[in-house]
Amino acid sequence: MSGTLASSAALWNRDRLDLSSDEILAQILDHGDLADWREVFALASRGPGLRRRIVAIARRVPLAYAGFWLAAMASLGEAIDWATPLPEDEGI
């Protein structure tokens, strides 16, 4: 892993990168930039566990680009149920 994710602006409220944390991973998926997302995709291409976690996060967290992440994981071989609705942000 390069320093791209570790220095991501998406981690503004974190003191370190911990990709084993679903909360931090969700924060990167939702608030990361293109370089962050490229690195996450590259890591997911080598790790089926990370792909499954990304799918699970997209299914339960209202991400801005949940459909994008599901399509990206499908391109890496993950089975996606496209009939299942994605969570919506209902505000506060």
What average pLDDT does the segment 51-61 reach? 97
**Residue 45 pLDDT > 90, yes or no?**
yes
Tokens representing residue 58 in the block: 């997209």
Of the candidates 80, 22, 24, the residue with the CA atom closest to the CA atom of residue 5: 24
Q: Give the whole-angstrom CA distance, residue 25 versus residue 14.
A: 12
Domain residue ranges in the chain = 3-75
**pLDDT score of 3:** 67
pLDDT at residue number 87: 92
Q: How far is CA 39 from the centre of its chain?
A: 11
pLDDT average, residue stretch 4-20 = 90
Max CA separation in the chain (angstroms): 38
